[in-house]
Amino acid sequence: MQKIDMNSEEFLTELEKTKKFADKVNKQFNWVYNANEDVNEGVIMGLARHKLLYGKRFCPCFMVIEEDGKHKSADDRICPCKPAIEEEIPQKGVCHCGIFCSPDFEGAQKPA
């Protein structure tokens, strides 16, 4: 498995791009970030890592496999994934990875 130096300029640059990507996803779908910043940080780091390793922002909560010389995620989950858009957020209020939420779900997660 290829290793990535998380302090490298390459990773830090991709991390910033991924943060902007996640901001755009939230705006596009009228979603918000999870109230738990640790979840958001971990998912954004995972997305950036996958982008560097595989050229795509595969959801970090799913295995990436090689098939016919190409990388793909189990369940074909590329962020924002179809299950999150069509099922998880509309039905549960949050995607599997936990970063993207409906405003109602996120509001209910904040401490009173």
pLDDT confidence of residue 1: 59
For residue 55, give the amino acid letter: G
Residue 65 has φ and ψ, to the nearest 5°, of: -120, 160
Task: Tell me the CATH number at 67.
Answer: 3.90.460.10
Return d(Cα 90, Cα 53) in angstroms, integer. Answer: 31
Residue 2 belongs to a domain = no
SS3 (DSSP) at 101? strand
Count CB neighbours of 43 within 10 A: 23
Let me know if residue 4 belongs to a domain.
no
Instruction: Supply the pLDDT for residue 107.
Output: 66
1 in any annotated domain: no
Cβ contacts of 31 within 8 Å, gap of 6 or more = 25, 89, 100, 101, 102, 103
| Number of independent structural domains in the chain | 1
* 53-90 confidence digits (pLDDT tens): 999 999 998 888 888 888 887 777 999 999 999 999 99
Place of tokens 């939230």: 26
Domain that holds residue 43: 9-109
Q: What is the pLDDT of residue 63?
A: 86
What pLDDT score was predicted for residue 71?
84
- Average pLDDT of the residues of the chain: 90
